Amino acid sequence: MKTLYLDAKNENATNVSAEILKKGGLVAIPTETVYGLAANALDGEAVKKIFIAKGRPQDNPLIVHVASLEEIEPLVEKVDPRLYSLAEKYWPGPLTVIMKKSPLIPDEVCAGLDTVAIRMPSHPVAREIIKKSGLPLAAPSANASGKPSPTKASHVAQDLEGKIDAIVDGGECSVGVESTVVTLATTPPTLLRPGGITPAQLEDVLGEIQISHAVFEKLREGEKVQSPGMKYKHYAPKAAVTIIKGSFEKYEKFLKAQKIETCAVCFEGEGKNFDKFIEYGKANDSLTQARHIFDALRKVDEMKCERAFVRCPVTTGVGLAVYNRLIRACGFRVIRL
Ligand code: TXA
Ligand code: MG
């Protein structure tokens, strides 16, 4: 299949995308978090193609994207009133909310669960494509399953060129990590995946929430998961990557003592101390770290590094999302100096 490249600066890009989606095709679209691989969420056959293109395990459900609150009612059993409070503060934006689904949602979307994940993105191009197609769009991150999520159109092309109908290039994603996922189907609500909306922001609206232990830790063998995405190896470059906790001075000494070639994945301004390095964001600034972490993980392989040591991000606020992605990319290898 030839993948069409569409520049979002060209007004026709969103029209062409909407037409492809209405015909049951797949289009990679920019969102404020990461690029998404979109299909008509109400068409099980179209949704199946997403799983094939990504090589995604079939038991991992997808997020449904809408552009307005009115679109949600038919998709869920009943709109939880707390959804409106969350929407008022955080939508459109990097938050996904899980509720009991309606029969309209095909099994392919929710992987056989009785719930559906819904998000209203803020990216103007994503919003225009949803509106012009007139459809709710199922869209996982537009990477090959297991790879770091795509925050640039070129990342999508690396993984999915020739496998999907089109890629819309809307430049770099501003948040850089996937949305926060919270389920209202448990009491109290459970944070399943940290992202651009922080636990404290959720608690402002919802009161007490619980945080799934899978956010911080490896799942136990055979453990039943609330969010199937948590159990797969994720975001991982081919290289062996390890997180290093401790001061920059200790980090530098540790790396320089290594006998085999290693790549330093560090913060802005620190790279000059090493032969091979990739910088991701500023020290103590989670927002810039979030924006660059996936690109940095892809660069580890592009630079043909076999081993990389990553400076540990701050783990509070949006930093929790950066840390959550990194420990998965590192296969939970963390060294404390
Ligand atoms: O920011 C984002 O959320 C991006 C952009 C494209 O919107 N999308 C994204 O989708 O990250 P994906 O498929 O890569 O991640 C969806 C996550 C997975 O961990 C999945 O297991 C979980 O949400 N999920 C989806 N539906 C669920 C459900 N009904 N119950 C529990 N977890 C669910
Ligand atoms: Mg993903």
Say how many C-beta atoms besides its own lie within 10 A of residue 23's C-beta: 11
246 — phi, psi (to 5°)? Answer: 135, 180
> What's the confidence (pLDDT) of residue 236?
81
Indicate the top mutation candidate among 105, 156, 178 to test ligand 1's pocket, ranked by most ligand atoms within 8 A of CB.
178
Cα–Cα distance, 280 to 29 (Å, whole number): 24
- Residue numbers of the chain with a pLDDT score lower than 50: none
Please give the Cα distance from 253 to 268 (Å, whole number).
18
CA 251 to chain centroid, in Å, comes to: 28
Q: Closest residue (by CA) to atom 20 of ligand 1?
A: 229
Please work out whether the CB of residue 123 comes within 6 Å of at least one atom of ligand 1: no
**Which atom of ligand 1 is nearest to 149's Cα?**
14
Which DSSP string do the residues of 35-96 spell out, in sequence order?
A: -EEEEETT-HHHHHHHHHHHT--TTS--EEE-SSGGGTGGGBSS--HHHHHHHHHH-SSSEE
Please, what sign has the CA dihedral across residues 10, 287, 282, 295?
negative
Residue nearest to atom 33 of ligand 1 (CA): 227
Copy the structure tokens of residue 169.
Answer: 């290039």
Which residue lies with its CA nearest to atom 6 of ligand 1?
36
What are the tens digits of pLDDT across the range 161-197?
Answer: 999 999 999 999 999 999 999 999 999 999 999 999 9
User: 284 Cβ partners below 8 Å, 6+ apart?
Assistant: 314
CB-side neighbour CA atoms (13 Å) of 114: 6
Residue 232: its pLDDT value, please? 63
**How much of the chain, in percent, has pLDDT values that exceed 90?**
91
pLDDT score of 311: 98
Token representation of residue 190: 């459970």
pLDDT score, position 192: 97
Phi, psi of 13 (to 5 degrees): -55, -40
Please tell me the distance between residue 210's alpha carbon and the centre of ligand 2 in angstroms.
22
Which value, to the nearest 10 degrees, does the dihedral of the CA atoms of residues 288, 292, 294, 295 take?
180
d(CA 249, CA 110): 47
> CA-based angle 127:198:92, to the nearest 5?
15
pLDDT given for residue 216 in this prediction: 85
Between CA 122 and CA 146 the distance in angstroms is 25
Write down the pLDDT at residue 267: 98
